[in-house]
Amino acid sequence: MDVTGSIALVTGANRGIGRRFVDELLARGAAKVYATARRPELIEVSDPRVEALRLDLLDARSVADAAAAAPDVTLLVNNAGITTGTNLLTGDLDVIRLELDTHLFGTLGVIRAFAPVLASNGGGAVVNILSALSWFASDGAGAYSVAKAAEWNMTNSLRLELAGQRTLVQGVHLGAADTDMMAGYDIPKIDPLDVARASLDGVKSGAIEVLVDDTSRYVKASLAADPAQFYAQSLVS
């Protein structure tokens, strides 16, 4: 799929990776970009090709309204998400459910709403921004890693279900990007623009999975080995 001339919708477009997707789509010649957020008034619109829409992953009505307002979409970028820093044994169950409701059921709801739109416009593509934490757990991010693991396999399942309508479904994995969400973490971070560029390069080439950085590539490669090696340092008491 060629991004040039595409009509895209990006969730969580008011900041971070979502905002950089909007910038990169415009730079690559997208005909129109629907930039969405829970509070669309926070979205900076400086290009006539950008239209701000309200879309809250946890509000089914807002998702349906966005799909009705954007019937010409050919590229859906599911970027919106949260991180609560919640572990599974000590964390509030409602907070853990919030992570799953957002990343799994919220993203799924958006895809279900836009799948018929994509089909009517020739198939197009769906991009899901995932994480290296789809494949491993880290203390302090138990709920997030569970939710991202679920979203990863949801991505795999929908790839099969949407193949018949010629919709590319791409999963994008990274360690950490330099965004507001990750501001409190003292770890190596990549430029969020690099995420958008790598993903859109993959959309053009038909890649179903994009590993953006060394962290995601290392974690993916470790899955073939004994997990005791990967978790050896973490399990030292």
- Predicted local confidence at residue 181, as pLDDT: 67
The average pLDDT across 60-72 equals 98
Confidence of residue 88 (pLDDT cuts 50, 70, 90): very high
- Predicted local confidence at residue 184, as pLDDT: 62
Confidence of residue 61 (pLDDT cuts 50, 70, 90): very high
The secondary structure of residue 47, as a DSSP letter, is S
- Predicted local confidence at residue 234, as pLDDT: 81
What are the tens digits of pLDDT across the range 198-230? Answer: 999 999 999 999 999 999 999 999 999 999 999
The average pLDDT across 31-39 equals 98
- Predicted local confidence at residue 185, as pLDDT: 58
Per the CB < 8 A criterion, the answer to whether 24 and 46 are in contact is no
Measured distance CA(133)–CA(149) in Å, rounded: 7
Measured distance CA(39)–CA(36) in Å, rounded: 8
- Predicted local confidence at residue 16, as pLDDT: 92
Residue 115 has pLDDT above 60, yes or no: yes
Confidence of residue 118 (pLDDT cuts 50, 70, 90): very high
Residue 183 has pLDDT above 60, yes or no: no
SS3 content of the chain, % helix, strand, coil (to 5): 45, 15, 40
Confidence of residue 190 (pLDDT cuts 50, 70, 90): confident
Residue 10 has pLDDT above 80, yes or no: yes
pTM: predicted TM-score of the whole model, two decimal places: 0.95
Tokens encoding 125: 């593509």
Per the CB < 8 A criterion, the answer to whether 79 and 10 are in contact is yes
- Kindly report the average pLDDT of the chain as a whole number: 94
DSSP string, 77-98: EE---------TTTS-HHHHHH
The average pLDDT across 14-34 equals 97
What are the tens digits of pLDDT across the range 222-237? Answer: 999 999 999 998 876 5
The average pLDDT across 63-92 equals 97
The average pLDDT across 80-92 equals 96
Contacts of 143 (CB under 8 A, 6+ apart): 84, 86, 87, 88, 91, 95, 96, 99, 100
The average pLDDT across 39-43 equals 95
